[in-house]
Structures are given as structure tokens and as C-alpha cells.
């Protein structure tokens, strides 16, 4: 067998190390050697010339093998490469105006760490998307696509920005139990779990714990999973989502709306600054948001819907479908809907007062017809809380662990829970929440 006919072998990394990321390969390195590592993301065979794109975490680099300039063995090895293989290439950097980033690498050595055994159902370089289920079944491979890498880099910035913003505003980050004894939100169902010899549940939200923590720390936030057994298949519900939960002492919902809108602006601005490449790749232009965000009361929205001949009664929840029917509704703007009917908000939400028990000090932050966040002033007196719990048919005894702290000076407080994935849907203009989630969980999906 001739050396050049040998099939490509997989090798270990050994002592070989990357010298440059794709983003560091530029014409300053002309005629220097470099070792790049990553994945084969496209191959074009021109007979006597092979164009191979290697993609790493920062981008792409073009490798050009010419039959005349390579050993026969190397040329033959490169010919055998398949998209998705994980490789290292040692080669010489050449300035090349025609190459995508003004440079290309002429290979001297190829090392294949792991071959692509199959042809993947999607191409790394392709922007067009195939069926989401096919992609989710191979999610880690799907995530190699620039489209998704861009989204998740933006997600990373959003998380960092939220943490930075809240920390600067005097909030401390906490973590509260995810295995709990009782429901907090009503509505969405709980996931029961075995807890030793008892039944327990996965937490729907950190609500009661974050409220309790205002007693000691005043301002707290938590970024963590919430679990909801959502029965319906929608493009905006996950069974496991990430919530940015905030709670502040000695304020009401108006202060919290001001905090939330500032946090949104800070986050969007951080993304504009940090993720220029990603935004360009996704063809997104983020809006210049202005303070304050518009506020419409629930009653006002209901009247507007009546004007639009929509069938809705005061007290009904506002579905995205019905909100879409609002005239002049901008689909790409943040706004608040405030002062909701007490009956459709959770038991811990404070009403507008003795005279107006029907309405409560609550808000939803919306983006078009998508709910991004819900918040409110909370009840801080035990009697009021007991009254509301009984009215909503809750088993008061089951909440004893919570109610007992109300004998010891719970401060007036307010807060919100914001769905990170919902915010990302708004920012990246993705219609399906699964796209902005690494490993989505829904009624049909528990793997990968
Ligand atoms: P929706 O009416 O959209 O089902 P909700 O009013 O039941 O949401 P809240 O209890 O107000 O949800 O939770 C606070 C925030 O958490 C929501 O505004 C949303 O951004 C996010 N969220 C709630 N449930 C889910 C879910 N199943 N999947 C993704 N995000 C969610
Ligand atoms: Mn809500």
C-alpha cells in the first residue's frame, strides 16, 4: 500500500497545542507557522485544490491545500476529511485578499482527533433552519452553527449584564431550594418528586423564599430554574425555564417597574456593545429604548379591546392572541400592563387598597404580545395574607412554614420574576423559545 492511500487515522492531542484562534490569524502573521484547532465546517474539492474551513469558538479560517505544494500524503488526507470532524492543522499563514478574513493557512500537517462518522442532517455554515426536532435530537452539534452560537453569546451577555446591574443597585445574589413542599403560583401545575418517603415538588418559582429574604437582606435576586408542568404545547412555554427573580424591601411596584425598565435598557445596551458581530450575523438592529416604558392599565387595555369589537370581560386573562388584536399595537416594543384584577394574580399580590380589592398593585412587562415579566407589590401583613389565601382556596396549614415569619416584621416589599428565555426571544426575534434554550424541556421532550 502506498503511503498516500492510507486511510485517515484518529490521533490523540498529545503535546500538540493550538497557537492561535481563528480570530488571531491575520496578515501580521504572514509567512509564520500557526497551529489551529477546531471543526471542519465546509469542504470544497477543486481537484488540484482543496478549500477547507476550520471553525473554532471565535470564527472561521480558510485552509487551502494545493496538490503541487503539499506532500501527496497530506493532500490525500485532507481529501478524506468530512464536515464536523475535530482536527488540528499546522500550517503557514498567507495573506490572501480573496480569503474571507484576508488570510488563509497552507497546511503542513493535519491531525484528526475525531472523525465525523456520519453526514449530519444539517450544515454548520447554513443559516436556513431545518425542523427543530431533528436539530434538538443532536443539539450539541446543532449548537456549532453560527446562528445558535450567536444567540447563546448574547444570552451570556444578558446574564452578565443582569448580574452587574443588580449588584450595582445593592442586590445580593441568593439561591433558594428547588425541592419544595407546597405550590406558590397556582395556575401552572407542579412536578411531584419523591423526597425520601414523602411527596415533594420542583419549585415553580423562588417567590416565598425571596420574599422572606427581604427580612434580612432587603434586596435580593436569584437567577435559577423554575419548573412548570405546562400542559399545552406553545412556542413560549418550557417545563424548565430560567428566571431572573428580584425582590426589594421598602418599595412598591412603581419603584420596581423603574428598576426593571432600567435593567432591560442596561442589558440591551450591554449586548449592543459586546455582541456587535453576533448582532450583525443575526441581522439584528436593537432598538434605542427610552425611559419610561409606556404603561397601560389592564382596564384601559380591556376598553381598547372593546373598541376593537373583541369579546372580553373585565377579569379575564389577556392571552397573546387577544393582545395581537389591539389596534396600533407595536409588535416590537416593551410596555407595562398594570393594575390587574386581583382574582387572576397569585395570593401574595397586594390589592390597590381597602376600597379597591378588585384590583391589585401588579404589572406585566410585555414585548408586543409576549409576556416577559410579572411583578407586584406583595402583601406584608399576616392577616391580609391569610384572608387572601382563604379566598383563593389555599390550604393555610400547608404554608405554616412561610406564614410564621410574618409574626416578625416583614417589611413592605415588591419584586418581579423575569423569564430569561422570553427576554432572549424578544431581543433575538426568535419565535420559538426552544431556539434560545440550550436543552429545552417540554411536554414531549426530556432528552437530550
Ligand atoms: P404565561 O402567562 O406566559 O404562561 P405566567 O404569567 O404563568 O406566564 P409567571 O408566573 O408570571 O408566568 O412567571 C414570571 C415570568 O416567568 C413570566 O413572565 C415568563 O417570562 C416566565 N415564565 C413563566 N412560565 C414560563 C414557562 N413555562 N416557560 C418559560 N418562561 C416562563
Ligand atoms: Mn405572569
pLDDT tens-digit readout, 158-202: 999 999 999 999 999 999 999 998 766 655 589 999 999 998 999
Q: How far is the CA of 316 from the centre of ligand 2 (A)?
A: 14
Ligand lying closest to the C-alpha of residue 365: 1
Is residue 111 in contact with ligand 1, taking CB distance under 6 Å?
Answer: no
Q: Are 145 and 122 in contact (CB under 8 A)?
A: yes
Buried b (16+ CB within 10 A) or exposed e, 131-157: eeeebbeebebbebbbbbbbbbbbbeb
Nearest-angstrom CA–CA distance, 39 and 18: 13
| Residue to probe by mutation, ligand 1, list 233, 316, 374, 439, most atoms within 8 Å of CB | 374
Q: Looking at residue 1, what is its pLDDT? A: 52
Q: How far is the CA of 398 from the centre of ligand 2 (A)?
A: 23
Q: How far is the CA of 372 from the centre of ligand 1 (A)?
A: 7
Q: In ligand 1, which atom is closest to the CA atom of 373?
A: 18
Question: Strands 370-377 and 49-56: what pairing?
Answer: unpaired
Q: Going by CA atoms, what residue is nearest to atom 4 of ligand 1? A: 237
Structural domains in the chain plus CATH codes: 3-114 (2.40.50.140), 140-436 (3.30.930.10)
Is residue 422 in contact with ligand 1, taking CB distance under 6 Å?
Answer: yes
Nearest-angstrom CA–CA distance, 3 and 30: 31
Backbone angles phi, psi at 433, to 5 degrees: -60, -25
Length of the chain equals 448
Give the mean model confidence (pLDDT) for residues 244-263: 98
Is residue 237 in contact with ligand 1, taking CB distance under 6 Å?
Answer: yes
Give the sheet arrangement for strand 179-180, strand by strand.
179-180, 198-202, 192-195
Q: Is the torsion defined by CA of 350, 354, 355, 358 positive or negative?
A: positive
Q: How far is the CA of 320 from the centre of ligand 1 (A)?
A: 13
Give the mean model confidence (pLDDT) for residues 25-31: 95
Q: Looking at residue 185, what is its pLDDT? A: 61
This prediction has a pTM of 0.95
Pick from 262, 287, 236, 256: nearest CA to 427: 287
Is residue 410 in contact with ligand 1, taking CB distance under 6 Å?
Answer: no
Longest pairwise C-alpha distance within the chain: 93
Q: Looking at residue 8, what is its pLDDT? A: 86
Q: Looking at residue 121, what is its pLDDT? A: 86
Nearest-angstrom CA–CA distance, 170 and 220: 8
Q: How far is the CA of 63 from the centre of ligand 2 (A)?
A: 51
Q: Looking at residue 346, what is its pLDDT? A: 94
Q: How far is the CA of 133 from the centre of ligand 2 (A)?
A: 28
Amino acid at each position: 500500500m502506498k503511503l498516500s492511500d492510507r486511510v485517515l487515522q484518529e490521533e490523540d492531542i498529545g503535546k500538540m497545542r493550538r497557537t492561535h484562534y481563528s480570530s488571531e490569524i491575520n496578515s501580521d502573521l504572514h509567512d509564520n507557522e500557526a497551529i489551529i484547532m477546531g471543526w471542519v465546517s465546509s469542504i470544497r474539492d477543486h481537484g488540484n485544490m482543496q478549500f477547507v474551513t476550520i471553525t473554532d469558538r471565535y470564527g472561521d479560517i480558510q485552509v487551502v491545500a494545493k496538490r503541487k505544494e503539499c506532500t501527496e500524503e497530506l493532500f490525500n488526507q485532507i481529501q478524506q476529511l468530512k464536515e464536523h470532524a475535530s482536527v488540528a492543522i499546522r500550517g503557514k499563514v498567507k495573506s490572501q485578499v480573496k480569503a474571507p478574513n484576508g488570510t488563509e493557512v497552507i497546511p503542513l500537517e493535519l491531525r484528526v482527533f475525531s472523525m465525523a462518522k456520519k453526514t449530519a442532517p444539517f450544515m454548520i455554515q447554513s443559516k436556513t433552519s431545518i425542523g427543530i426536532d431533528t436539530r434538538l435530537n443532536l443539539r450539541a452539534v446543532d449548537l456549532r452553527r453560527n446562528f445558535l452560537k450567536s444567540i447563546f453569546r448574547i444570552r451570556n451577555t444578558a446574564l452578565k449584564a443582569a448580574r452587574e446591574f443588580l449588584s450595582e443597585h445593592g442586590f445580593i445574589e441568593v439561591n433558594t431550594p428547588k425541592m419544595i413542599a407546597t405550590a406558590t403560583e397556582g395556575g401552572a401545575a407542579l412536578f411531584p418528586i419523591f423526597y425520601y418517603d414523602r411527596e415533594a415538588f420542583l419549585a415553580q418559582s423562588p417567590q416565598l423564599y425571596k420574599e422572606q429574604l427581604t427580612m434580612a437582606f432587603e434586596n435580593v435576586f436569584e437567577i435559577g430554574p423554575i419548573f412548570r408542568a405546562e400542559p399545552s404545547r406553545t412556542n413560549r412555554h418550557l417545563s424548565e425555564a430560567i428566571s431572573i427573580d428580584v425582590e426589594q424591601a421598602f418599595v412598591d411596584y412603581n419603584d420596581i417597574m423603574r428598576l426593571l425598565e432600567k435593567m432591560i435598557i442596561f442589558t440591551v445596551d450591554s449586548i449592543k456593545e459586546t455582541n456587535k458581530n453576533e448582532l450583525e450575523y443575526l441581522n439584528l438592529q436593537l432598538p434605542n429604548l427610552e425611559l419610561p416604558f409606556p404603561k397601560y392599565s389592564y382596564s384601559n387595555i380591556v376598553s381598547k379591546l372593546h373598541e376593537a369589537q373583541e369579546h372580553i370581560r373585565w377579569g379575564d386573562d389577556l392571552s397573546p392572541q387577544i393582545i395581537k388584536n389591539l389596534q396600533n399595537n407595536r409588535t416590537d416594543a416593551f410596555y407595562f400592563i398594570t393594575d390587574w384584577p386581583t382574582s387572576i394574580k397569585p395570593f401574595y399580590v397586594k390589592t390597590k387598597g381597602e376600597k379597591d380589592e378588585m384590583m391589585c398593585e401588579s404589572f406585566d412587562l410585555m414585548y408586543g404580545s409576549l409576556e416577559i415579566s410579572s411583578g407586584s407589590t406583595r402583601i406584608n401583613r399576616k392577616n391580609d395574607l391569610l384572608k387572601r389565601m382563604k379566598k383563593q382556596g389555599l390550604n393555610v396549614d400547608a404554608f405554616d412554614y412561610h406564614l410564621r415569619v410574618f409574626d416578625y416584621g416583614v417589611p413592605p416589599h415588591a419584586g418581579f420574576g423575569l423569564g430569561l428565555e422570553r427576554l432572549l426571544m424578544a431581543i433575538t426575534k426568535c419565535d420559538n423559545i426552544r431556539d434560545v434554550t440550550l436543552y429545552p424541556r417540554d411536554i414531549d421532550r426530556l432528552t437530550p
